[in-house]
Protein backbone atom coordinates (compact mmCIF):
# COMPACT_ATOMS: atom_id res chain seq x y z
CA UNK A 1 0.00 0.00 0.00
CA UNK A 2 1.36 3.44 -0.86
CA UNK A 3 1.29 6.55 1.33
CA UNK A 4 0.13 9.83 -0.16
CA UNK A 5 1.17 13.36 0.64
CA UNK A 6 -1.42 16.06 1.35
CA UNK A 7 -1.87 16.71 -2.34
CA UNK A 8 -2.83 13.12 -3.02
CA UNK A 9 0.46 12.21 -4.73
CA UNK A 10 1.97 8.82 -3.98
CA UNK A 11 5.11 8.86 -1.91
CA UNK A 12 7.83 6.23 -2.41
CA UNK A 13 7.25 2.75 -0.98
CA UNK A 14 8.15 2.51 2.66
CA UNK A 15 7.33 6.17 3.37
CA UNK A 16 4.95 6.75 6.26
CA UNK A 17 3.13 9.88 7.36
CA UNK A 18 5.18 9.77 10.52
CA UNK A 19 8.48 9.86 8.64
CA UNK A 20 7.24 12.56 6.25
CA UNK A 21 6.00 14.66 9.12
CA UNK A 22 9.19 14.10 11.10
CA UNK A 23 11.86 15.51 8.85
CA UNK A 24 13.56 15.19 5.52
CA UNK A 25 10.58 14.39 3.28
CA UNK A 26 12.66 15.34 0.26
CA UNK A 27 15.31 12.83 1.15
CA UNK A 28 12.68 10.16 1.36
CA UNK A 29 11.09 11.11 -1.93
CA UNK A 30 14.48 11.05 -3.62
CA UNK A 31 15.47 7.83 -1.95
CA UNK A 32 18.27 9.66 -0.11
CA UNK A 33 19.14 8.63 3.42
CA UNK A 34 17.31 10.88 5.88
CA UNK A 35 20.62 11.71 7.58
CA UNK A 36 22.40 14.58 5.89
CA UNK A 37 25.08 13.59 3.39
CA UNK A 38 28.29 15.55 2.95
CA UNK A 39 31.43 16.69 4.71
CA UNK A 40 29.84 18.65 7.54
CA UNK A 41 31.30 21.93 6.23
CA UNK A 42 28.57 24.03 4.60
CA UNK A 43 28.35 23.98 0.83
CA UNK A 44 27.39 27.67 1.07
CA UNK A 45 29.83 30.47 1.81
CA UNK A 46 29.34 32.68 4.85
CA UNK A 47 27.96 35.70 2.96
CA UNK A 48 24.19 35.54 3.54
CA UNK A 49 23.58 31.82 3.13
CA UNK A 50 19.88 30.87 3.34
CA UNK A 51 19.33 31.45 7.06
CA UNK A 52 19.04 28.39 9.29
CA UNK A 53 16.23 29.99 11.30
CA UNK A 54 14.19 30.64 8.14
CA UNK A 55 14.87 27.13 6.82
CA UNK A 56 13.81 25.74 10.18
CA UNK A 57 10.40 27.40 9.90
CA UNK A 58 9.36 24.76 7.37
CA UNK A 59 7.48 21.97 9.15
CA UNK A 60 7.16 19.87 5.96
CA UNK A 61 3.37 20.00 6.02
CA UNK A 62 3.11 20.10 2.21
CA UNK A 63 0.32 22.69 2.02
CA UNK A 64 2.40 24.62 -0.49
CA UNK A 65 2.77 21.73 -2.93
CA UNK A 66 -0.46 22.06 -4.95
CA UNK A 67 0.16 25.80 -5.43
CA UNK A 68 3.70 25.33 -6.79
CA UNK A 69 3.72 25.46 -10.61
CA UNK A 70 6.71 23.16 -11.03
CA UNK A 71 5.26 20.60 -8.64
CA UNK A 72 1.96 20.84 -10.50
CA UNK A 73 3.81 20.20 -13.78
CA UNK A 74 6.07 17.36 -12.70
CA UNK A 75 4.89 16.05 -9.32
CA UNK A 76 8.53 15.89 -8.17
CA UNK A 77 9.26 16.56 -4.50
CA UNK A 78 12.56 18.27 -5.33
CA UNK A 79 10.68 20.69 -7.59
CA UNK A 80 8.40 21.78 -4.77
CA UNK A 81 9.03 24.49 -2.15
CA UNK A 82 9.43 21.82 0.53
CA UNK A 83 11.93 19.90 -1.57
CA UNK A 84 13.91 23.02 -2.43
CA UNK A 85 14.15 23.97 1.24
CA UNK A 86 15.29 20.42 1.97
CA UNK A 87 18.05 20.85 -0.62
CA UNK A 88 19.11 24.09 1.10
CA UNK A 89 19.35 22.12 4.35
CA UNK A 90 21.50 19.36 2.91
CA UNK A 91 23.86 21.80 1.17
CA UNK A 92 24.08 23.91 4.35
CA UNK A 93 25.14 20.76 6.16
CA UNK A 94 27.83 19.76 3.73
CA UNK A 95 26.40 18.24 0.57
CA UNK A 96 27.97 19.65 -2.62
CA UNK A 97 26.18 22.33 -4.60
CA UNK A 98 26.11 20.17 -7.73
CA UNK A 99 24.38 20.45 -11.11
CA UNK A 100 21.25 18.55 -10.06
CA UNK A 101 20.76 20.66 -6.94
CA UNK A 102 21.29 23.93 -8.80
CA UNK A 103 18.84 22.76 -11.48
CA UNK A 104 16.02 22.28 -8.95
CA UNK A 105 16.57 25.83 -7.67
CA UNK A 106 16.94 27.22 -11.20
CA UNK A 107 13.60 25.64 -12.08
CA UNK A 108 11.84 27.60 -9.32
CA UNK A 109 9.90 30.47 -10.88
CA UNK A 110 10.17 32.66 -7.79
CA UNK A 111 6.42 33.14 -8.08
CA UNK A 112 5.92 33.11 -4.29
CA UNK A 113 2.67 31.16 -4.47
CA UNK A 114 4.21 29.03 -1.71
CA UNK A 115 4.58 32.12 0.50
CA UNK A 116 0.84 32.77 0.18
CA UNK A 117 -0.01 29.13 0.83
CA UNK A 118 2.31 28.42 3.77
CA UNK A 119 0.48 28.33 7.11
CA UNK A 120 3.81 28.49 8.98
CA UNK A 121 4.89 31.78 7.45
CA UNK A 122 8.01 30.37 5.78
CA UNK A 123 9.83 33.24 4.07
CA UNK A 124 10.71 31.30 0.95
CA UNK A 125 11.32 34.58 -0.90
CA UNK A 126 14.32 35.38 1.30
CA UNK A 127 15.52 31.79 1.19
CA UNK A 128 15.53 31.42 -2.57
CA UNK A 129 17.12 34.83 -3.17
CA UNK A 130 19.95 34.04 -0.79
CA UNK A 131 20.33 30.60 -2.39
CA UNK A 132 20.42 32.03 -5.90
CA UNK A 133 23.19 34.42 -4.95
CA UNK A 134 25.19 31.43 -3.67
CA UNK A 135 24.52 29.53 -6.89
CA UNK A 136 25.74 32.50 -8.91
CA UNK A 137 28.97 32.55 -6.92
CA UNK A 138 29.69 28.83 -6.69
CA UNK A 139 27.99 26.93 -9.46
CA UNK A 140 29.94 26.48 -12.69
CA UNK A 141 27.46 27.03 -15.53
CA UNK A 142 27.95 25.79 -19.08
CA UNK A 143 29.37 28.25 -21.61
CA UNK A 144 25.94 28.41 -23.29
CA UNK A 145 24.23 29.35 -20.01
CA UNK A 146 26.91 31.92 -19.23
CA UNK A 147 26.56 33.48 -22.68
CA UNK A 148 22.79 33.62 -22.44
CA UNK A 149 22.80 35.17 -18.98
CA UNK A 150 25.47 37.68 -19.99
CA UNK A 151 23.31 38.74 -22.98
CA UNK A 152 20.14 39.07 -20.89
CA UNK A 153 21.71 40.97 -18.02
CA UNK A 154 23.73 43.30 -20.22
CA UNK A 155 20.56 44.33 -22.10
CA UNK A 156 17.32 44.24 -20.10
CA UNK A 157 18.23 46.36 -17.05
CA UNK A 158 19.53 49.20 -19.27
CA UNK A 159 16.81 51.48 -20.70
CA UNK A 160 19.16 53.21 -23.15
CA UNK A 161 20.25 49.90 -24.66
CA UNK A 162 16.62 48.73 -24.80
CA UNK A 163 15.59 51.95 -26.53
CA UNK A 164 18.40 51.41 -29.05
CA UNK A 165 16.97 47.93 -29.71
CA UNK A 166 13.51 49.38 -30.48
CA UNK A 167 14.53 50.64 -33.94
CA UNK A 168 15.75 47.30 -35.33
CA UNK A 169 12.84 45.51 -33.65
CA UNK A 170 10.28 47.86 -35.21
CA UNK A 171 11.92 47.42 -38.61
CA UNK A 172 11.85 43.64 -38.14
CA UNK A 173 8.15 43.81 -37.29
CA UNK A 174 7.34 46.24 -40.13
CA UNK A 175 9.08 44.00 -42.68
CA UNK A 176 7.14 40.99 -41.35
CA UNK A 177 10.34 38.97 -41.03
CA UNK A 178 8.71 36.99 -38.25
CA UNK A 179 6.94 34.79 -40.79
CA UNK A 180 10.37 33.65 -42.06
CA UNK A 181 11.89 33.24 -38.59
CA UNK A 182 8.84 31.29 -37.40
CA UNK A 183 8.86 28.91 -40.36
CA UNK A 184 9.46 25.26 -39.39
CA UNK A 185 12.83 25.21 -41.21
CA UNK A 186 14.27 28.15 -39.28
CA UNK A 187 12.68 27.05 -35.99
CA UNK A 188 14.44 23.69 -36.32
CA UNK A 189 17.89 25.31 -36.27
CA UNK A 190 17.19 28.32 -34.04
CA UNK A 191 18.18 27.76 -30.38
CA UNK A 192 15.04 27.40 -28.23
CA UNK A 193 15.95 30.43 -26.11
CA UNK A 194 16.35 32.68 -29.17
CA UNK A 195 13.10 31.45 -30.65
CA UNK A 196 11.38 32.21 -27.33
CA UNK A 197 12.85 35.70 -27.19
CA UNK A 198 11.68 36.38 -30.74
CA UNK A 199 8.15 35.15 -30.03
CA UNK A 200 7.86 37.16 -26.81
CA UNK A 201 8.93 40.52 -28.24
CA UNK A 202 6.00 42.94 -27.92
CA UNK A 203 4.70 44.74 -30.99
CA UNK A 204 5.97 48.28 -30.84
CA UNK A 205 4.23 51.51 -31.64
CA UNK A 206 4.97 55.21 -31.18
CA UNK A 207 6.39 56.44 -27.86
CA UNK A 208 4.18 58.96 -26.06
CA UNK A 209 6.07 61.77 -24.32
CA UNK A 210 6.07 61.87 -20.52
CA UNK A 211 7.13 65.14 -18.88
CA UNK A 212 9.68 65.15 -16.06
CA UNK A 213 6.99 66.79 -13.92
CA UNK A 214 3.25 66.46 -14.64
CA UNK A 215 1.05 68.80 -12.59
CA UNK A 216 -1.99 67.53 -10.71
CA UNK A 217 -5.35 68.18 -12.31
CA UNK A 218 -7.33 70.35 -9.87
CA UNK A 219 -6.33 70.36 -6.23
CA UNK A 220 -2.99 68.69 -5.54
CA UNK A 221 -3.36 65.82 -3.06
CA UNK A 222 0.05 64.15 -3.23
CA UNK A 223 3.52 64.59 -4.76
CA UNK A 224 4.70 61.26 -6.12
CA UNK A 225 7.83 59.90 -7.74
CA UNK A 226 7.21 57.55 -10.63
CA UNK A 227 9.57 54.83 -11.80
CA UNK A 228 9.66 54.64 -15.61
CA UNK A 229 11.51 51.33 -15.37
CA UNK A 230 13.59 49.43 -17.91
CA UNK A 231 11.42 46.99 -19.91
CA UNK A 232 8.26 48.91 -19.00
CA UNK A 233 9.77 52.22 -20.12
CA UNK A 234 11.23 50.94 -23.38
CA UNK A 235 8.57 48.48 -24.57
CA UNK A 236 5.40 49.63 -22.76
CA UNK A 237 5.73 53.44 -22.77
CA UNK A 238 2.00 53.86 -23.29
CA UNK A 239 1.36 52.06 -19.99
CA UNK A 240 3.60 54.62 -18.30
CA UNK A 241 1.82 57.48 -20.06
CA UNK A 242 -1.59 56.13 -18.99
CA UNK A 243 -0.35 55.74 -15.40
CA UNK A 244 0.85 59.34 -15.25
CA UNK A 245 -2.43 60.52 -16.76
CA UNK A 246 -4.51 58.67 -14.16
CA UNK A 247 -2.30 59.83 -11.26
CA UNK A 248 -2.55 63.45 -12.40
CA UNK A 249 -6.33 63.16 -12.85
CA UNK A 250 -6.51 61.87 -9.27
CA UNK A 251 -4.68 64.92 -7.90
CA UNK A 252 -1.05 63.78 -7.92
CA UNK A 253 1.87 65.88 -9.07
CA UNK A 254 4.00 63.26 -10.79
CA UNK A 255 7.80 63.46 -10.90
CA UNK A 256 9.14 60.98 -13.43
CA UNK A 257 12.90 61.46 -13.78
CA UNK A 258 14.20 60.05 -17.07
CA UNK A 259 17.20 58.64 -15.26
CA UNK A 260 15.09 56.42 -12.96
CA UNK A 261 15.42 53.20 -14.94
CA UNK A 262 15.92 49.68 -13.64
CA UNK A 263 15.08 49.07 -9.97
CA UNK A 264 17.23 45.93 -9.90
CA UNK A 265 14.35 43.41 -9.80
CA UNK A 266 15.62 41.31 -12.70
CA UNK A 267 19.09 41.10 -11.15
CA UNK A 268 17.88 40.59 -7.58
CA UNK A 269 15.47 37.81 -8.47
CA UNK A 270 18.26 36.03 -10.37
CA UNK A 271 20.77 36.17 -7.49
CA UNK A 272 22.95 38.92 -8.99
CA UNK A 273 23.26 40.67 -5.67
CA UNK A 274 25.93 43.25 -6.52
CA UNK A 275 23.97 44.49 -9.54
CA UNK A 276 20.75 44.57 -7.52
CA UNK A 277 22.39 46.70 -4.82
CA UNK A 278 23.84 49.09 -7.39
CA UNK A 279 20.46 49.56 -9.11
CA UNK A 280 18.70 49.97 -5.76
CA UNK A 281 21.04 52.76 -4.67
CA UNK A 282 20.54 54.57 -7.97
CA UNK A 283 16.78 54.31 -7.72
CA UNK A 284 16.78 55.61 -4.14
CA UNK A 285 18.97 58.55 -5.18
CA UNK A 286 16.57 59.40 -8.01
CA UNK A 287 13.26 59.21 -6.13
CA UNK A 288 14.07 59.68 -2.45
CA UNK A 289 12.79 63.21 -1.94
CA UNK A 290 9.12 62.55 -2.73
CA UNK A 291 6.03 61.73 -0.58
CA UNK A 292 5.39 58.37 -2.24
CA UNK A 293 7.14 56.32 -4.88
CA UNK A 294 4.73 54.80 -7.37
CA UNK A 295 5.34 51.72 -9.48
CA UNK A 296 3.14 50.14 -12.15
CA UNK A 297 5.04 46.87 -12.71
CA UNK A 298 4.54 44.09 -10.17
CA UNK A 299 8.11 42.78 -10.07
CA UNK A 300 9.56 46.27 -9.55
CA UNK A 301 7.24 47.10 -6.66
CA UNK A 302 8.07 43.86 -4.92
CA UNK A 303 11.81 44.49 -5.28
CA UNK A 304 11.63 48.13 -4.13
CA UNK A 305 9.66 47.18 -1.02
CA UNK A 306 12.60 44.91 -0.10
CA UNK A 307 15.38 47.50 -0.43
CA UNK A 308 15.75 47.74 3.34
CA UNK A 309 16.60 44.04 3.52
CA UNK A 310 18.76 44.10 0.40
CA UNK A 311 20.90 46.99 1.66
CA UNK A 312 21.09 45.80 5.28
CA UNK A 313 24.89 45.36 5.21
CA UNK A 314 25.75 48.51 3.28
CA UNK A 315 27.52 51.33 5.12
CA UNK A 316 25.34 53.83 7.00
CA UNK A 317 23.08 55.59 6.13
CA UNK A 318 22.08 53.18 3.34
CA UNK A 319 20.18 50.65 5.48
CA UNK A 320 18.12 53.41 7.14
CA UNK A 321 17.58 55.26 3.86
CA UNK A 322 16.57 52.08 2.08
CA UNK A 323 14.11 51.06 4.80
CA UNK A 324 12.48 54.51 4.85
CA UNK A 325 12.33 54.47 1.04
CA UNK A 326 10.73 51.01 0.91
CA UNK A 327 8.01 52.16 3.30
CA UNK A 328 7.02 54.87 0.81
CA UNK A 329 6.80 52.54 -2.21
CA UNK A 330 3.29 51.84 -3.49
CA UNK A 331 1.90 49.94 -6.40
CA UNK A 332 -0.18 52.44 -8.35
CA UNK A 333 -3.41 50.56 -7.58
CA UNK A 334 -2.52 50.54 -3.89
CA UNK A 335 -1.92 54.30 -3.88
CA UNK A 336 -5.14 55.11 -5.75
CA UNK A 337 -7.24 53.07 -3.31
CA UNK A 338 -5.44 54.73 -0.36
CA UNK A 339 -6.12 58.18 -1.81
CA UNK A 340 -9.73 57.46 -2.79
CA UNK A 341 -10.55 58.19 -6.42
CA UNK A 342 -12.19 61.48 -7.46
CA UNK A 343 -11.87 61.73 -11.25
CA UNK A 344 -15.18 60.95 -13.02
CA UNK A 345 -15.29 57.65 -14.91
CA UNK A 346 -17.11 57.31 -18.24
CA UNK A 347 -18.81 54.00 -18.99
CA UNK A 348 -16.90 51.23 -20.76
CA UNK A 349 -19.14 48.20 -21.30
CA UNK A 350 -16.50 45.49 -21.50
CA UNK A 351 -15.93 42.04 -19.97
CA UNK A 352 -12.49 41.64 -18.45
CA UNK A 353 -10.38 38.69 -17.35
CA UNK A 354 -8.11 40.09 -14.65
CA UNK A 355 -4.77 38.24 -14.37
CA UNK A 356 -3.02 38.51 -11.01
CA UNK A 357 0.72 38.97 -11.54
CA UNK A 358 2.51 36.78 -8.98
CA UNK A 359 4.70 39.61 -7.72
CA UNK A 360 1.59 41.67 -7.07
CA UNK A 361 -0.70 39.02 -5.59
CA UNK A 362 1.73 36.66 -3.85
CA UNK A 363 4.74 38.88 -3.15
CA UNK A 364 2.83 42.06 -2.19
CA UNK A 365 -0.62 40.72 -1.28
CA UNK A 366 -2.28 43.15 -3.70
CA UNK A 367 -5.40 41.51 -5.08
CA UNK A 368 -8.35 43.61 -3.97
CA UNK A 369 -7.11 47.04 -5.07
CA UNK A 370 -6.91 46.47 -8.86
CA UNK A 371 -10.28 44.68 -8.82
CA UNK A 372 -11.84 47.53 -6.83
CA UNK A 373 -10.53 50.13 -9.29
CA UNK A 374 -11.72 48.15 -12.32
CA UNK A 375 -15.15 47.69 -10.74
CA UNK A 376 -15.45 51.48 -10.33
CA UNK A 377 -15.72 51.88 -14.10
CA UNK A 378 -19.40 51.77 -15.08
CA UNK A 379 -20.10 48.89 -17.45
CA UNK A 380 -17.03 46.82 -16.60
CA UNK A 381 -17.55 43.17 -15.66
CA UNK A 382 -14.57 41.41 -14.09
CA UNK A 383 -14.30 37.63 -14.52
CA UNK A 384 -11.95 35.47 -12.47
CA UNK A 385 -9.50 33.24 -14.34
CA UNK A 386 -9.61 29.54 -13.32
CA UNK A 387 -6.39 28.52 -11.48
CA UNK A 388 -5.77 32.22 -11.09
CA UNK A 389 -3.06 31.71 -8.47
CA UNK A 390 -0.90 29.61 -10.78
CA UNK A 391 2.00 31.47 -12.42
CA UNK A 392 1.80 32.07 -16.19
CA UNK A 393 5.46 31.10 -16.60
CA UNK A 394 6.82 34.58 -17.26
CA UNK A 395 8.55 35.15 -13.90
CA UNK A 396 11.04 37.85 -14.89
CA UNK A 397 13.42 36.20 -17.34
CA UNK A 398 12.39 32.63 -16.43
CA UNK A 399 10.67 32.16 -19.79
CA UNK A 400 13.99 32.92 -21.50
CA UNK A 401 16.08 30.73 -19.20
CA UNK A 402 13.61 27.82 -18.84
CA UNK A 403 11.53 27.99 -22.02
CA UNK A 404 9.95 24.52 -21.86
CA UNK A 405 8.19 24.69 -18.47
CA UNK A 406 7.43 28.37 -19.10
CA UNK A 407 5.68 27.49 -22.37
CA UNK A 408 3.64 24.75 -20.67
CA UNK A 409 2.51 27.14 -17.96
CA UNK A 410 1.83 29.84 -20.54
CA UNK A 411 -0.41 27.55 -22.54
CA UNK A 412 -2.26 26.47 -19.40
CA UNK A 413 -2.83 30.11 -18.45
CA UNK A 414 -3.95 31.01 -21.99
CA UNK A 415 -6.53 28.20 -21.97
CA UNK A 416 -7.82 29.39 -18.61
CA UNK A 417 -8.04 32.97 -19.88
CA UNK A 418 -10.02 31.80 -22.91
CA UNK A 419 -12.34 29.80 -20.64
CA UNK A 420 -13.55 33.06 -19.05
CA UNK A 421 -15.03 34.19 -22.37
CA UNK A 422 -13.76 37.72 -21.59
CA UNK A 423 -13.12 40.27 -24.34
CA UNK A 424 -10.12 41.92 -22.72
CA UNK A 425 -7.25 40.59 -20.62
CA UNK A 426 -6.04 43.02 -17.97
CA UNK A 427 -2.72 42.55 -16.18
CA UNK A 428 -0.29 44.77 -14.30
CA UNK A 429 3.01 43.26 -15.33
CA UNK A 430 4.82 43.54 -18.67
CA UNK A 431 6.27 40.04 -18.39
CA UNK A 432 2.83 38.45 -17.90
CA UNK A 433 1.49 40.51 -20.81
CA UNK A 434 4.14 39.20 -23.22
CA UNK A 435 3.94 35.64 -21.91
CA UNK A 436 0.16 35.25 -22.08
CA UNK A 437 -0.12 37.06 -25.43
CA UNK A 438 2.47 34.70 -26.90
CA UNK A 439 0.72 31.65 -25.45
CA UNK A 440 -2.64 32.84 -26.80
CA UNK A 441 -1.06 33.31 -30.22
CA UNK A 442 0.25 29.75 -30.00
CA UNK A 443 -3.34 28.60 -29.60
CA UNK A 444 -4.38 30.69 -32.60
CA UNK A 445 -5.99 33.54 -30.62
CA UNK A 446 -5.39 37.27 -30.65
CA UNK A 447 -6.86 38.92 -27.58
CA UNK A 448 -6.79 42.58 -26.57
CA UNK A 449 -4.58 43.16 -23.52
CA UNK A 450 -4.31 46.24 -21.31
CA UNK A 451 -2.79 47.38 -18.04
CA UNK A 452 -5.36 48.45 -15.41
CA UNK A 453 -4.11 52.05 -15.79
CA UNK A 454 -4.86 51.97 -19.53
CA UNK A 455 -8.41 50.94 -18.82
CA UNK A 456 -8.79 53.71 -16.22
CA UNK A 457 -7.17 56.26 -18.54
CA UNK A 458 -9.57 55.24 -21.32
CA UNK A 459 -12.54 55.63 -18.97
CA UNK A 460 -11.38 58.96 -17.54
CA UNK A 461 -10.55 60.18 -21.06
CA UNK A 462 -14.01 59.23 -22.38
CA UNK A 463 -12.80 56.68 -24.94
CA UNK A 464 -15.30 54.31 -26.43
CA UNK A 465 -15.31 50.58 -25.89
CA UNK A 466 -14.27 50.08 -29.55
CA UNK A 467 -11.34 52.49 -29.19
CA UNK A 468 -10.19 50.64 -26.09
CA UNK A 469 -10.46 47.16 -27.60
CA UNK A 470 -8.91 48.12 -30.94
CA UNK A 471 -5.92 49.81 -29.32
CA UNK A 472 -5.49 46.97 -26.83
CA UNK A 473 -5.50 44.46 -29.68
CA UNK A 474 -2.75 46.27 -31.52
CA UNK A 475 -0.32 45.76 -28.65
CA UNK A 476 1.87 47.95 -26.46
CA UNK A 477 2.63 51.42 -27.69
CA UNK A 478 -0.75 52.10 -29.22
CA UNK A 479 -3.18 53.01 -26.45
CA UNK A 480 -2.11 56.62 -26.14
CA UNK A 481 -3.92 58.47 -23.37
CA UNK A 482 -5.96 61.65 -23.75
Q: Whole-number minimum distance, CB 14 to ligand SF4, in Å?
A: 21
Side-chain half-sphere exposure of 463, counting CA atoms within 13 A? 22
Q: Give the Cβ contact number of residue 248 at 10 Å.
A: 22
Q: Which stretch binds ligand SF4 (CB under 6 A): 60-68, 136-144, 287-295, 463-471?
A: 60-68
Question: Residue 16 or residue 259: which is nearer to ligand SF4 going by CB?
Answer: 16
What is the closest distance, in whole angstroms, from the C-beta atom of residue 339 to ligand SF4 in the complex? 32
Could you say which of 28, 54, 58, 424 contacts ligand SF4 (CB under 6 A)?
A: 58
Which range touches ligand SF4 (CB under 6 A), out of 33-41, 91-99, 113-121, 175-183? 113-121
Backbone angles phi, psi at 229, to 5 degrees: 80, 175
Regarding 88 and contact with ligand SF4 (CB under 6 A), the answer is no
Contact residue for ligand SF4 among 70, 123, 134, 148 (CB under 6 A): 70
By beta-carbon proximity to ligand SF4, the closer residue of 85 and 280 is: 85
Residues 123-182, interacting with ligand SF4 (CB under 6 A): 124
The residue within the footprint of ligand SF4, chosen from 11, 29, 95, 111 (CB under 6 A), is 111
Least distance from C-beta 294 to ligand SF4, angstroms?
26
Please say which residue, 92 or 108, places its beta carbon nearer to ligand SF4. 108
Site string for ligand SF4, 421-440 (x = CB under 6 A): --------------------
Q: Which of 90, 91, 112, 276: binder of ligand SF4 (CB under 6 A)? A: 112
Residue 114 CB, nearest distance to ligand SF4 (Å)?
Answer: 3
One residue of 20, 28, 54, 68 binding ligand SF4 per CB under 6 A: 68
Q: Does 398 bind ligand SF4 (CB under 6 A)?
A: no
* Segment contacting ligand SF4 by CB under 6 A, of 81-89, 297-305, 346-354, 457-465: 81-89
| 60 binds ligand SF4 per the rule CB under 6 A | yes
Smallest distance from ligand SF4 to CB 90, Å: 15
Question: Minimum distance between the CB of residue 6 and ligand SF4, rounded to whole angstroms?
Answer: 9
Shortest Cβ 154–ligand SF4 spacing (Å):
26
Position 392 contacts ligand SF4 (CB under 6 A): no
- In three-state form (DSSP H/G/I as H, E/B as E, the rest C), the secondary structure along the chain is CCCECCCCCECCCCCCHHHHHHCCHHHHHHCCCCCCCCCCCCCCCCCCCCCHHHHHCCCCCCCCHHHCHHHHHHCCHHHCHHHHHHHHHHHHCCCCCCHHHHHHHHCCCCCCHHHHHCCCCCCHHHHHHHHHHHHHHHCCCCHHHHHHHHHHHCCCCCHHHHHHHHHHHHHHHHCCCHHHHCCHHHHHHCCHHHHHHHHHCCCCCCCCCCCCEECCCCCCCEEEEECCCCHHHHHCHHHHHHHHHHHHHCCEEEECCCCCCCCCHHHHHCCCHHHHHHHHHHHHHHHCCCCEEEECCHHHHHHHCCHHHHCCCCCCCHHHHHHHHHHHEEEHHHHHHHHCCCCCCCCCCEEEEEECCHHHHHHHCCCHHHHHHHHCCCCEEEEECCCCCCCCCCCCCHHHHCHHHHHHHHHHHHHHHHHCCCCEEEECCHHHHHHHHHHHHHCCCCCCEECHHHHHHHHHCCCCHHHHHHHHHHCCCCCCCC
Does 120 sit near ligand SF4 (CB under 6 A)? yes
Q: Which stretch binds ligand SF4 (CB under 6 A): 62-70, 133-141, 207-215, 443-451?
A: 62-70
# chain residues binding ligand SF4, by CB under 6 A: 26
- Which residues would be at the binding site for ligand SF4 (CB under 6 A)? 58-64, 67-70, 81-82, 84, 108-114, 117-118, 120, 122, 124
Amino acid sequence: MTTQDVTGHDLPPGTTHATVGDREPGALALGLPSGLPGSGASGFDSHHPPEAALRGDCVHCGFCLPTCPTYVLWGEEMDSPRGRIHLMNVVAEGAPLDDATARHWDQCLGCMACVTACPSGVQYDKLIEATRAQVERHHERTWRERLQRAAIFSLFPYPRRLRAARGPLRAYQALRLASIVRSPVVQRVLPRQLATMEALAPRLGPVPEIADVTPAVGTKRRTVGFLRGCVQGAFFPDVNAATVQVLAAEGCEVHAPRTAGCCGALSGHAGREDDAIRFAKRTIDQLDALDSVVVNAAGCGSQMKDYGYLLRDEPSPWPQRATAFSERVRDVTELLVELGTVAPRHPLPVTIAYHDACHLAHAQGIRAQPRALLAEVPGVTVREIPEGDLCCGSAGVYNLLQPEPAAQLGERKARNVLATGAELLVTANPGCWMQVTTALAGLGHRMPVAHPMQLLAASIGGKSREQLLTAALDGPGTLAPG
